[in-house]
Amino acid sequence: MTGLGGETWTITSGPHRATIAEVGAGLRSYTHEGRDVTCRYGDDELPPKGCGTTLVPWPNRIRDGRYTFDGVEQQLALTEPDKRNAIHGLGRWARWSLVEQTSDSVRLGLDIVPQKGYPFQLHAEVEYVLEYARGLVVELSGRNDGSQRAPFGMGSHPYLSAQGASLDDVLLGVAADETFDVDDQQIPVRTRPIRDDEDFGGSSRLGARRFDQGFTSLVIEDSVPDDLYSMVHLSGAGFSSSIWFDSGFKYLQVYTVDEVSPGQPGVAFEPMTCAPNAFNSGDGLLVLEPGESWSGRWGIVAGRPL
């Protein structure tokens, strides 16, 4: 009998170990030398607060679940009913199929069939690879298998673990020049420069600040290799972890949660191809022609002692 997350696959490489869940193609846990790098959830739990799930064919929110594409209005189910939004796509609660597995990698695929609100045919894949020297590397991809062009976005929802520390005591670093102001549905109403009094650079403790914040105009750091785009960091209580992502991801959502599940503080760093509500605003929206594909990579540099 499988748990609520369906079948799981565990991969290892040296001190790295990750478990991937069938439902949502989710990163259920990632440890380095036995220490949690990401927040985890168990066999008998649904992924709490989107923990580790793959977001496709859109990340984040669509206002009122409604959008118009090529002159046709579409209505999606409201999967965030308290805010009247469609949130995090159609793959979050689907059972993804195993495509390939090795001792240190696993690749899952999902066919998104045409349906009410998204009458397009899409194939998505996610591959998790553990590299001894680098840590966890994740590749997302999507392909339009239909006969008409399709709106598309993709992302992931990993939480970096505070590793026993209170969120008050961790340092959070996001290198970006712009952020979003949002309305009461958490939908962006404007993009604006980050103010001098907003400290997202990791130079001070998070303290009492909590947020669900979107960023763009991400800054390339000098330490980032040429094939990457940006990095974000979480550190404190003797550890430091980072998430990197390539130029396929121009947007980032950061979500601070004191308890992802009981006793597990964490911060979601969500690399996204497009902005929240992109199916309406067009900000970062990808349009895949029939047969066209997209892919992008992100990864985690394992928590290490300071």
pLDDT for 303 = 63
pLDDT of residue 249: 94
Where in the chain are the domains?
8-164+236-305
> For position 238, what pLDDT does the model report?
80
Task: Please check the confidence at residue 98 and state whether its pLDDT lies above 50.
Answer: yes
Which positions ≥6 away from 220 have C-beta within 8 Å? Answer: 175, 228, 229, 230
Tell the residue number behind the tokens 């972890």, with chain if given: 241
What's the pLDDT tens digit per position in 16-41? 999 999 999 999 999 999 999 999 99
Structure tokens at 173: 């670093």
Per cent of the chain over pLDDT 70 is: 93
Q: 195-229: per-residue pLDDT in tens? A: 888 877 666 688 888 989 999 998 765 555 555 56
284 and 271 in contact (C-beta within 8 Å)? no
The HSE-up count of residue 274 (CA atoms within 13 Å, CB side) is 28
* In the block, residue with structure tokens 């959502």: 253
Q: Is the pLDDT of residue 61 over 80?
A: yes
Q: Label residue 306 by pLDDT band (50, 70, 90).
A: very low
In the predicted model, what is the mean pLDDT of the chain?
A: 92
Q: Which amino acid is at 85?
A: N
pLDDT in tens, 111-150: 999 999 999 999 999 999 999 988 999 999 999 999 999 9
Instruction: Find the DSSP H helices in the chain.
Output: 278-281
Q: Kindly compute the dihedral angle of the four CA atoms of residues 156, 162, 166, 170, in this order, to the nearest 10 degrees.
A: -90
Q: Give the N- to C-terminal CA distance of the chain in Å, as an integer.
A: 41
How much is the pLDDT for 158?
A: 98
Q: Which CATH architecture has domain 8-164+236-305?
A: Distorted Sandwich (2.70)
Query: Distance between CA atoms of 49 and 58, rounded to whole angstroms?
Result: 17
Maximum Cα–Cα distance across the chain: 54
pTM: 0.95
Q: In degrees rounded to 5, what are phi and psi of residue 175?
A: -95, 100
- What is the three-class DSSP state of 155? strand
As a whole number of angstroms, the distance between CA 229 and CA 217 comes to 11
Tokens 């008050």 correspond to what residue? 168
